[in-house]
Amino acid sequence: MSAVIENHHNEHDHHGPAKGLKRWFYTTNHKDIGTLYLWFSFAMFLIGGAMAMIIRAELFQPGMQIVEPEFYNQMITLHGLIMIFGGVMPAFVGLANWLVPMMIGAPDMALPRMNNLSFWILPFAFFVLLSSLFMEGGAPNFGWTFYAPLSTTYAPPSTTFFIFSVHIMGASSIMGSINVIVTIMNMRAPGMGLMKMPLFVWSWLITAYLLIAVMPVLAGAVTMMLMDIHFGTSFFNAAGGGDPVLFQHIFWFFGHPEVYIMILPAFGIVSHIIETFSRKQLFGYSSMVWAMLSIAILSFVVWAHHMFTVGMPLAAELFFMWSTMLIAVPTGVKVFNWIATMFKGSITFETPMLFACAFVVLFTLGGFSGLMLAITPADFQYHDTYFVVAHFHYVLVPGAIFSIMAAVYYWIPKWTGNMYDERLGRLHFWLSFIGVNVTFFPQHFIGLAGMPRRVPDYALQFADWNMVSTAGAFLFGFSQVFFLFIVVKTVMGGKQATDQVWEGARGLEWTVDSPAPYHTFSVPPKVS
Partner 1 sequence: MGSKKKTILKLSGAVAAMYLFSFLLVPLYDVFCDITGLNGKVAQTTNAESSISIEGREIGLQFISHNNAGMPWTFKPSKEVSKIKTGTMYEATFYAKNTTNKMMVGRAVNSVAPTNAKDYIKKIECFCFAEGIELMPGEEVLLPIKMVVDNELPKNIKNIVLSYTIFDSNLENNIIMDHDSDHAGS
Active site residue ranges: 79, 108, 144, 172-173, 256, 258, 260, 271, 305-306, 331, 334, 453
Residue 68 contacts which entry, Cu ion, ligand HEM, partner 1, none (Cβ below 5-8 A, type-dependent): partner 1
Q: Which of 280, 305, 428, 444 binds ligand HEM (CB under 6 A)?
A: 305
**Angstrom distance (rounded) from CA 31 to CA 16:** 12
Nearest to 47 by CA among 73, 84, 79: 79
Between 231 and 423, whose beta carbon lies closer to partner 1?
231
Binding mask 457-496 for ligand HEM (x = CB under 6 A): ----------------------------------------
Look at the alpha carbons of 475, 477, 478, 484 in this order and tell me if their dihedral is positive or negative.
Answer: positive
SS3 content of the chain, % helix, strand, coil (to 5): 70, 0, 30
Binding mask 476-515 for Cu ion (x = CB under 5 A): ----------------------------------------
Q: Which lies closer to partner 1 via its Cβ, residue 21 or residue 315?
A: 315
Amino acid (one-letter) located at 256: H
Site for partner 1 in 49-68 (CB under 8 A): 68
C-beta nearest to ligand HEM: residue: 370
Q: Rounded to whole angstroms, how far apart are CA atoms 344 and 434?
A: 28
Q: Phi first, then psi: what are they for 447, rounded to 5°?
A: -70, -45
Among 154, 349, 380, 485, binds partner 1 (CB under 8 A): 154
CB of 295 within 8 A of CB of 329? no
Q: Which is nearer to partner 1, 195 or 314 (CB)?
A: 314
Q: Does the footprint of partner 1 cover residue 157 (CB under 8 A)?
A: yes
Task: Select from 97, 123, 121 the least CA-distant residue to 110.
Answer: 97
Size of the site for partner 1 (CB under 8 A): 50
**Does the protein bind ligand HEM through residue 359 (CB under 6 A)?**
no
Return the bridge partners of 112, or none. none
Using the CB atoms, write b or e for 449-461: b if 16+ within 10 Å: eebbbbbbebeee
Candidates 161, 285, 303, 382: give the one binding ligand HEM (CB under 6 A): 382
Distance set, CA 1 to CA 20, 109, 423, 494 (Å): 30, 20, 35, 26
| 400 forms part of the interface with ligand HEM (CB under 6 A) | yes
Over the window 238 to 257, marking each residue x when it contacts Cu ion by CB under 5 A and - when it does not, the resulting string is ------------------x-
Q: Could you give the angle at the alpha carbon of 127 between the alpha carbons of 124 and 132, nearest 5°?
A: 135
Interface with partner 1, residue 505, by CB under 8 A: no
Select from 13, 44, 40, 17 the least CA-distant residue to 28.
17
Contact of 117 with 175, CB cutoff 8 Å = yes
191 part of the interface to partner 1, by CB under 8 A: no
Helix segments in 187-313, DSSP class H: 199-230, 244-261, 264-278, 285-298
Residue 203-242 contact track with partner 1, rule CB under 8 A, x = bound:
---------xxxxxx-xxx--x---xx--x-xx-xxxxx-
By beta-carbon proximity to ligand HEM, the closer residue of 261 and 508 is: 261
Query: Are the C-beta atoms of residues 101 and 115 closer than 8 Å to each other?
Result: no
**Gap between the Cα atoms of 217 and 212, Å rounded:** 9
Binding segment for ligand HEM (CB under 6 A), chosen from 3-11, 387-395, 436-444, 458-466, is: 387-395
- 327 near ligand HEM, rule: CB under 6 A: yes
* CA gap 362, 263 in Å, rounded: 13
Binding of ligand HEM at residue 356 (CB under 6 A)?
no
State the residues that interact with Cu ion by CB under 5 A: 256
State the residues that interact with ligand HEM by CB under 6 A: 145, 259, 262-263, 305-306, 324, 327-328, 331, 367, 370-371, 373-374, 379, 382-383, 388, 391-392, 395-396, 399-400
